[in-house]
Amino acid sequence: ASSSSAISFTTGLDSTYKEYVFKFINIHGSADNTHFYMNFSTNGGSSYGVATTTSLYRAQHKEDGSDAGLDYRTSEDLAQSTSFQNLSNVEMGNGNDECCGGYLHLFNPSSTTFVKHFLANTNTYQKDDFSMNHNIAGYANTTSAVDAVQFKMSSGNIDSGQILLFGLN
């Protein structure tokens, strides 16, 4: 990504593999205090907004050791929502050293029988010098094939970083 408003994977998600993994490497936003989001499509990326249910918890530790914790984030859950899922759940800064990394596992997206389960884990260097680890799990509530995934920031662009897609046998 280089100053991209969104990164969309509209090809490559098919019945070739039962599991797909997206890797996020040094995702850095152009704006301060932003979040990293994702959503699914069943129409090749013409629209994004598959009804999704999720849960999210996070562990955090401040750089100077003054604060740490583990908490469930009810405010970041989706309950049959078509909104984008927050993958970073924290205000990522736009400083040169502030970025996000992690992965998203999507299971059997080509199934036309079952919902599409997924797991995500990200670690973000937050704007107030925290390391924040986010664990997200859920399902896209559709029996249609999920054939596209989009990633974007809550505001501004994805200034830099890589998103890689792998199929697993």
The pLDDT of residue 128: 83
10-to-46, 89, 99, 102, 134 alpha-carbon distances in Å: 9, 25, 25, 20, 26
Alpha-carbon distance 143 to 28, whole Å?
A: 34
Residue 90: per-residue pLDDT? 77
> How high is the pLDDT of residue 158?
94
pTM of the model: 0.94
Q: What is the mean pLDDT of each run of 10 residues along the chain (169 residues)?
A: 89 96 95 93 97 96 94 92 91 85 98 98 89 96 98 94 95
Provide the pLDDT for residue 151.
Answer: 97
Residue 96: predicted pLDDT: 81
- Report pLDDT for 1: 66
DSSP 127-146: TTSEEEEEEEEEEE--SSPP
Q: What is the pLDDT of residue 52?
A: 98
Tokens, residue 71: 């908490």
